[in-house]
Amino acid sequence: MQIQRVLVFRIGILLLVHYTSCIMSQLSPNFYDNSCPNLLSIVSSTYQSLAARDNVVSPSTLRLGMHDCFIQGCDGSILLSSTTVNSAERDYVDNDIPQQAFDTIENIKRAVESSCPGVVSCADIVALASLEAVRFLGGPSLQVPLGRRDSQTSSVANANGNIPSSNLDGDQLISLFASKGLDASDLVALSGAHTIGFAKCRQFDFRLNGQDPFYDQQFAAQLRGQCSLRGGTNVVAFDPPSPFLFDNSYYRDLQNNRGLLLTDQVLFVHPQTKDLVNQFAASQTQFFQAFATSFVKMFSIGVLTGNNGEIRNMCDRINAS
């Protein structure tokens, strides 16, 4: 029975990987070459002017990209607003994404629409804006194939269980990522995004009661002080010396037991992820290469292509509404 279950699980994963590579082959880096030849420069210049004005923009936009993909696939469903008859995924309590990220996507969409009306999806703009966020903060220059279409649905119920909670252990993280077609190396590489940005104390304060064997004690004391200031809503940087620099210092934080979330620190504990943490801590080049590969995989989760979905006119509502 156990063997049968393992076999069914492995076949499921193989099918998912096959499905993902088929989907990736429907996306193309040249997708808008004829219909919107200046797309990349429009996105890039609009993004840079927004990000330069507000340093919340880059971390929150990258996180929005991850959440779009993990909930119902990379289909722009995270951008849809709730209506009188539907609660959208954007309003899921653990999404909690700053408004600046949504405004960034809407502003880029407006700029793109004025040059190429009706052809570029919001889902592709999310992927391109995420890539800009990484580059803006000093990370690798990424490329992502395009051609995603936008969903016509978004439901708060889909969010539950699809974005990882910050109290998962290593096995739970690995299996959640596997359910998205991502393996343990993708998990380690993509978690490196926590080299930028901030988390609210409520996401990790359960670790501060002295029970957590993984925290460096000095770091824990420092966090207790920071979190007592305004309680659970106070925010703390993932990588305090450089929260706006996309580098590999996140992995050195983990080696020093200074991973902010439990889900960060367990990567340095689990036998399937610990070696990679050490490798990325030692080589930023290796981290950047792995991140670039895993980024493309993440942005191919559950995409809509061909005649599925639509190209929304505005990112926060479907066309028919």
Can you say which residues are annotated as belonging to the binding site for substrate?
Answer: 164
- Tell me how far the alpha carbon of residue 106 is from its chain's centroid: 18
Using only the alpha carbons of the chain, give its radius of gyration: 19
The candidate with the shortest Cα–Cα distance to 193, out of 106, 128, 131, 109, is 131
Which of 36, 193, 223, 254 touches ligand HEM by CB under 6 A?
193
Which of 27, 62, 220, 304 touches ligand HEM by CB under 6 A?
62
Token reading at 75 = 């289909």
Q: How far is the CB of 24 from ligand HEM (least distance, A)?
A: 17
Stretch that binds ligand HEM, among 19-27, 37-45, 191-199, 313-321 (CB under 6 A): 191-199
Build a one-symbol-per-residue string for 147-176: x at contacts with ligand HEM by CB under 6 A, - elsewhere.
-----------------x-x------x---
3-class SS of residue 47: helix
With binding defined as CB under 6 A, does residue 200 bind ligand HEM?
yes
Which of 20, 72, 249, 263 touches ligand HEM by CB under 6 A?
263
With binding defined as CB under 6 A, does residue 249 bind ligand HEM?
no
Which of 60, 72, 77, 185 touches ligand HEM by CB under 6 A?
60
Q: How far is the CB of 105 from ligand HEM (least distance, A)?
A: 14
2-41 binders of ligand HEM (CB under 6 A): none
Stretch that binds ligand HEM, among 119-127, 147-155, 194-202, 280-288 (CB under 6 A): 194-202
Count of residues of this chain found to bind ligand HEM when the rule CB under 6 A is applied = 22
Give the span between the Cα atoms of 112 and 34, in whole angstroms: 14
18 is catalytic: no
**Residue 87: HSE in the Cβ half-sphere, 13 Å Cα cutoff:** 8
Q: What angle do CA 101, 109, 237 make, to 5 degrees?
A: 15
Token reading at 213 = 């064997």
Burial of 313 (0-12, 13-18, 19+ CB in 10 A): middle
Q: Which residue is nearest to ligand HEM, using beta carbons?
A: 197
Q: How far is the CB of 130 from ligand HEM (least distance, A)?
A: 8
Spot the catalytic one: 20, 46, 63, 67: 67
Q: How far is the CB of 98 from ligand HEM (least distance, A)?
A: 6
Q: Which are the contacts of 76, defined by CB distance < 8 A and separation ≥ 6? A: 68, 121, 122, 123, 125, 126, 148, 150, 151, 312, 315
Q: Which residue has the tokens 């030692």?
A: 282
The candidate with the shortest Cα–Cα distance to 69, out of 124, 27, 16, is 124
Q: Applying CB under 6 A, which residues contact ligand HEM?
A: 59-60, 62-63, 66, 96, 98, 164, 166, 173, 190-191, 193-194, 196-200, 203, 261, 263
